[in-house]
Amino acid sequence: MSTFTIFIALIIFVAFLLIIVIMVQNPKGGGLASSFGGGGTQQLGGVQKTTDFLDKSTWTLATLLLALILLSNISIMGGAGVTDSKALDQTIMENALPSDTNTQTDNTGDTK
């Protein structure tokens, strides 16, 4: 199993967890926190902590997902990929340029 495959599996797992954490939240302050004792009161003492946990876990999972994506990119290139451009290769440039011939053209475009 290659390192890229491991990174892909971790990316899918973290993305799934991130989807679940985002879906549990309610943009108006409800969601999982309100189901434990009502919106504005802290009856169980854990309502605010639940909201804080969901917020922190969202940011943590998003950061982890970004880091895994960047690391998977490095594993694709093998850690030290070739960064030279083939467009700058001298042999390709020589083949791409028209060769100099002894034919000359005048201003009218006729070949002499």
pLDDT over threshold 70, residue 88: no
Rg (CA), the chain: 30
Q: What is the pLDDT of residue 61?
A: 95
Most confident of 20-29, 48-57, 63-72, 94-103: 63-72
pTM for the predicted model, two decimal places: 0.55
Alpha-carbon distance values, 77 to 3, 9, 64, 92, 103 (Å): 11, 18, 20, 23, 47
Q: Average per-residue pLDDT in the chain? A: 74
pLDDT over threshold 80, residue 30: no
Long-range contacts of 52-55 (CB under 8 A, 24+ apart): 54/21, 54/24, 54/25, 55/25
User: How many C-beta atoms surround the C-beta of residue 69 within 10 A?
Assistant: 14
Q: Binning pLDDT at 50, 70 and 90, where does residue 49 land? A: confident
Chain centroid to Cα 110, Å, comes to: 56
